[in-house]
Amino acid sequence: MLNSNNKLKKLTASLAVTLLSTLAFAGCANKTPPVTSGIGTGLMTPGDDFSQHLEVHNADLAKRLFISEVKSRKNNGLLEVNLQLSSRYKRSQKLQYHFNWFDADGFVIEARKTPWQAIELHGQQSTTLRGLAPNINVSTFSVYVREVPEKAYEY
């Protein structure tokens, strides 16, 4: 009886040590994307932490799109951005996008001067959108995406 109690205590202690080690290692996992050579890269699940860069004013369209990766760097003092726009939708989507640029205080820089760019995303497709800030005061951005209506309206 005494021998089986000692075995049970050793087994319980061993399980406790294993459980605590597993929890300690899980807590050490780094979930911050790496930044190298002045280029930020994201290695996250779709939509994580990139949603602040995507602006969509259509709830149905917003559910069908996400940014899966963002890279940025300074190019001659100007912020240069490459982002991966991805579709969750099974059908093709005709879209337009343009970048909005903001200074360090969150104020828009040169509002409405970025032209709309047309793109077509086929089912579950991703595409890279490129943008270059209009001046050196830009510190962040967002990309505004809208649907192109199937029918052209005449006025």
Residues 98-134: tens digit of each pLDDT = 999 999 999 999 877 778 999 999 989 999 999 999 9
pLDDT of residue 35: 33
For the chain, what percent of residues have pLDDT higher than 70?
A: 65
Query: Coil, strand, or helix at residue 151?
Result: coil
pTM, 2 dp: 0.63
CA–CA distance, 107 with 105 (Å, rounded to integer):
6
